Amino acid sequence: MGGPLQGIKVVELSAMGPAPHAAMMLADLGAQVVRVVGPAPPVGGYDVDTHLQRGRTTVRANLKDPADLAGALELVAEADVFLEGFRPGTTERLGLGPEECLAVNPRLVYARMTGWGQQGPMARQAGHDINYIALTGVLHAMGPAAQPMPPLNLVGDFGGGSMFVLTGILAALLERGSSGRGQVVDAAMVDGVSVLSQLILELRSVNLWNDTRQSNLLDGAAPFYRSYACAGGGHVAVGAVEPQFYALLLDGLGLAAADLPDRDDPARWPALGEALAAAFATRTRDEWAVAFDGIDACVTPVLSYAEAAQNPHLAARGTFSGSGRHIADAPAPRFSRTPAVAKTALGETDFETILSSWRAP
């Protein structure tokens, strides 16, 4: 088996960030994905998203050339999904907008991945992950009290971006099964990030969350939900939110609740945090990992990527492959009958070769 999306054909108009990440996942899940890229390598010869190109065939084309544009439209006519990640209006100017593509293939799912969305005052403005999460309130909530801290580019680009365009594609394919018709999917990172924020928004609406950074349950203020420095320079992560887990945390640290500030009083959190920090500083990270192994205290070592690839649990699941600086992820989620497979990039070809294989009986 080649994954649950075997037989689904995807045309990806090459872009950066979340769109190629979504295309990578479609390929992992078994779809036949063709990347259509410009006729020349990027400036400097390096494609920033090379690491996201696995599992796809590449066709180089100058879409301003009528012959190449016609070839791309022929491919679209045979496809199930068209995925693009450019500013609004770009594909329309190229002659590959929704109107043109749905005209040649009414069953097509036309997926658009942007930061700001297709409509709105900022739709055509430049931006990156940090800008999208800043406007939605998410960045304001993250980091130490002194200033917001961007959480890599995982929340906007990939959490609010590629995961939501992928959800939209799969939902539109499912709906097409009953209606027989394709449609346009408008996936905007500002929308996706806002959906990811729903728990925090709900807590805020009932006065269980405030807009002051590092003063809430899940933002590092609570002593039982943060990381601690250990002897030797490592850190552990603590997530002992529930009382029963907190009790096991104290047992593991050799502390008694009666001797500590009340964990349910936020005013006492600084003093409680100091007590827990002093305890964790007495051993190394790895010593604490052994001490809490198999215990429901919600204490785990904070690992680097290189260390994560060697972790026994992740190794048993095959979550990563490789080591050191050469680590790759395994496809997710897992399937019982149609397992997803991470394939290397499939090299370059031309429109005619792809069309011949797609049209083969």
Tens-digit pLDDT profile for residues 146-190: 999 999 999 999 999 999 999 999 999 999 999 999 999 999 999
CATH for 225-317 is 3.30.1540.10
* pLDDT of 102 over the 50 cut: yes
Q: Is 167 exposed, middle or buried (0-12, 13-18, 19+ CB in 10 A)?
A: middle
Radius of gyration of the chain (CA): 24
pLDDT of the residue at 15: 84
Residue 342: in which H helix or E strand, if any?
A: none
Contacts of 133 (CB under 8 A, 6+ apart): 139, 142, 150, 151, 155, 156, 160, 189, 193
Domain positions in the chain = 9-196+336-359, 225-317
Question: pLDDT for 50-60, tens place per residue?
Answer: 668 889 999 99
Which one is catalytic: 28, 68, 129, 157?
157
**pLDDT band with cut points at 50, 70 and 90 for residue 42:** low
The CATH number, out of the four listed (3.30.420.10, 3.90.1150.10, 3.40.50.300, 3.40.50.10540), of the domain defined by the range 9-196+336-359: 3.40.50.10540
pLDDT of the residue at 46: 47
128 annotated active-site: yes
Question: pLDDT for 108-137, tens place per residue?
Answer: 999 999 999 999 999 999 999 999 999 999
CA distance 86 to 103: 21
Mutual orientation of helices 243-253 and 269-280 as an angle, nearest 10°? Answer: 40
235 annotated active-site: no
Same fold, 9-196+336-359 and 225-317: no
Which one is catalytic: 49, 128, 286, 329?
128
Q: Could you tell me how far CA 180 lies from the centroid of its own chain?
A: 30
pLDDT of the residue at 53: 85
Q: Which amino acid is at 166?
A: L
pTM of the model: 0.93
- Dihedral sign of CA atoms 55, 61, 63, 66 in order: negative
